[in-house]
């Protein structure tokens, strides 16, 4: 089964591979795109999901985190940097700037009332607890 990680292919591993391949294709054919920005890591256990996003040069006031069902969206803006001297022009510009938005589907529904977000040193950490109604329930089996 693709859903189990028992030495065979995992659904989430295959999904991640597909996303990386799609990003590569977009980067190869659409000049000036960055692929997936911001870069993220997602960890999940039975109780919650932790999303970490690298956002250097972004101010906390420019960030927005929104949750709908089992999806989280990170959006914001990295402002344009200007040189101090008005006569200076770019020689090379590789750092990305402008608006961004990234939506990730999570492995379960989220309790949006108890989400915690922390932004420090350009890294956003968002802890998303699993919704109570989406947690596994233990069912007692009785004998007749």
pLDDT given at position 10: 73
Does the structure show a pLDDT above 80 at 4?
A: no
List where CATH 2.60.40.790 sits in the chain.
37-82+98-133
Distance CA 43, CA 51 (A): 7
- In CATH, which of 1.10.760.10, 2.60.40.790, 2.60.120.260, 1.20.1260.10 is domain 37-82+98-133? 2.60.40.790
* Residue 78 near residue 96 (C-beta atoms within 8 A): yes
Neighbour-count burial of 53, counting CB atoms closer than 10 A to its CB (0-12 exposed, 13-18 middle, 19+ buried): buried
pLDDT given at position 50: 95
pLDDT higher at 29 or 117? 117
Distance CA 33, CA 9 (A): 30
Distance CA 118, CA 126 (A): 6
pLDDT given at position 29: 58
């Amino acid at each position: 089964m693709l859903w189990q990680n028992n030495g065979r292919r995992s659904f989430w591993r295959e999904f991640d591979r597909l996303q990386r391949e799609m990003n590569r294709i977009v980067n190869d054919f659409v000049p000036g795109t960055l692929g997936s920005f911001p870069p993220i890591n997602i960890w999940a256990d039975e109780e919650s999901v932790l999303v970490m996003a690298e956002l250097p040069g972004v101010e906390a006031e420019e960030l927005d985190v929104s949750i709908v069902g089992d999806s989280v969206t990170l959006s914001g803006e990295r402002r344009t940097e200007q040189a101090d001297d008005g006569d200076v022009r770019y020689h090379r510009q590789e750092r990305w700037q402008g608006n961004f938005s990234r939506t990730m589907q999570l492995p379960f529904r989220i309790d949006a009332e108890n989400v915690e977000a922390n932004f420090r040193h350009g890294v956003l950490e968002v802890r998303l607890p699993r919704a109570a109604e989406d947690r596994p329930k233990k069912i007692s089996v009785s004998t007749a």
